[in-house]
Amino acid sequence: MKRAFTMAEILLSLTIIGVVAAITLPSLTGNINERTWNTQRKALYARFSQALALMPNLNGYGTLVEDESGSVTEDTVAETFITAGLSKVLKINNICEHEHLADCGIANNITTFAGSKITTPKTMQELNSNLVGSRSSDFVADGIRRSASMSVFNTKAAAFETNNGESIVVYYNPGCTDLVNTGDVHYAQAKMCANFVYDLNGKKGPNTVGKDIGFISVLYPNNPVIVAPLPLSIKPIPGGSIGFSPRACTKLGAKMPNREEASALFFNRDLIGANTGSGFWWTSSTVSQYPNRAWVMVIGNGFIDHYLKSGGKTIHCIKR
């Protein structure tokens, strides 16, 4: 007698296959997307690093005109930085001023690394209000004088599209400066020349920081340092000595940020959208003049200071 599957058995088998597929496919698709984004992110960083190294300097582009009250009446800095600078070293398809970022494929809203929704910033102050304004510090601690000042205008953003399909917003500081002395304390804002927020696939989703959206920061105009840290968590790790901190990051499969990477996290902390804290973060950068000290980021105001390595500070691990 010939035997065959009954209709009920076939339907049951199809149901099981469907359930298994429904469970596994999203995870499989997500893993594929993650690998694709990681590959695109690294390729974009490599292209930017090569291109920016060809520019003679990264400051002084564009025009800022103030009225008698000190308000800026004309602001072409970011757009000019793209047209007169970046376009000479990068293949750019389209350039958009700050009121028309969407014309360059920029989504109106971004999901932060923490999962909250924000409107895509159109000015430097919208990116992070602590990036602009004026402030200074002058004090003595541990017998070492710290003195630093900064003044950064609230410049308007601009955007462009690349030949590879990325959409990129530029937040530009035309007055960025180099480090006078490698051991000098300073405000990170004054050293930031350009901060790029990129979307690897334009308006197409998920438009989320840490996935298709990330940031590249460029510090120092004449000897630029280009960093693209990927935040690992939304909260800093509790304090410890500088010896404890790298091991804590290593256990998470991550790295401790260097001085410039910590600056990039500060610039983009609203995009991280989390409890980044208001204290001090250790960095992996040492201080050549003071071997027993390491650089820290004061996350509340962008001050870059150095402290004894035995002190307890929080850390914010990253991936590169």
By the 8 A CB rule, do 150 and 131 touch? no
Q: Rounded to the nearest 5 degrees, what angle is found at the Cα of 226, between the Cα atoms of 223 and 230?
A: 160
Question: pLDDT digit string (tens) for 28-57?
Answer: 455 667 888 989 999 999 999 999 999 999
pLDDT at 28: 46
Question: pLDDT digit string (tens) for 221-237?
Answer: 999 999 999 988 767 77
The answer to whether residue 278 scores a pLDDT higher than 80 is: no
pLDDT at 300: 84
278 in a domain, yes or no? no
Question: pLDDT digit string (tens) for 136-189?
Answer: 888 777 777 788 888 998 999 999 999 889 999 999 999 999 988 877 899 999
79 in a domain, yes or no? yes
124 in a domain, yes or no? yes
**Whole-number mean pLDDT of the chain?**
86
By the 8 A CB rule, do 95 and 82 touch? yes
Residue 320's pLDDT band (cuts 50, 70, 90): confident
pLDDT at 200: 95
State the burial class of residue 103 (Cβ atoms within 10 Å of its Cβ: 0-12, 13-18, 19+).
middle
190 in a domain, yes or no? yes
Q: Round to whole Å and give the CA distance between 229 and 209.
A: 12
pLDDT at 4: 63
By the 8 A CB rule, do 131 and 152 touch? yes
User: In angstroms, how far apart are the furthest CA atoms of the chain?
Assistant: 101
Q: Round to whole Å and give the CA distance between 312 and 240.
A: 4
295 in a domain, yes or no? no
Tally of structural domains, the chain? 1
What tokens were used for 285?
């950068």
What is each CA distance from 61 to 52, 58, 70, 317, in whole angstroms?
Answer: 14, 8, 20, 34
For range 270-274, the mean pLDDT: 84
pTM: 0.86
The answer to whether residue 25 scores a pLDDT higher than 80 is: no
**Three-class secondary structure assignment of 196-241:** EEEECCCCCCCCEECCCEEEEEEECCCCCEEECCEECCCCCEEEEC
77 in a domain, yes or no? yes
Domain that holds residue 212: 31-227
State the CB neighbour count (10 A cutoff) for residue 179.
Answer: 15
Q: Taking Cα atoms as reference points, which of 288, 69, 107 lies closest to residue 197?
A: 107
The answer to whether residue 274 scores a pLDDT higher than 60 is: yes
313 in a domain, yes or no? no
The answer to whether residue 5 scores a pLDDT higher than 50 is: yes
Residue 130 backbone phi and psi in degrees, to 5: -80, 0
Residue 199's pLDDT band (cuts 50, 70, 90): very high
185 in a domain, yes or no? yes
By the 8 A CB rule, do 159 and 95 touch? yes
Q: Taking Cα atoms as reference points, which of 276, 274, 265 lies closest to residue 115?
A: 274
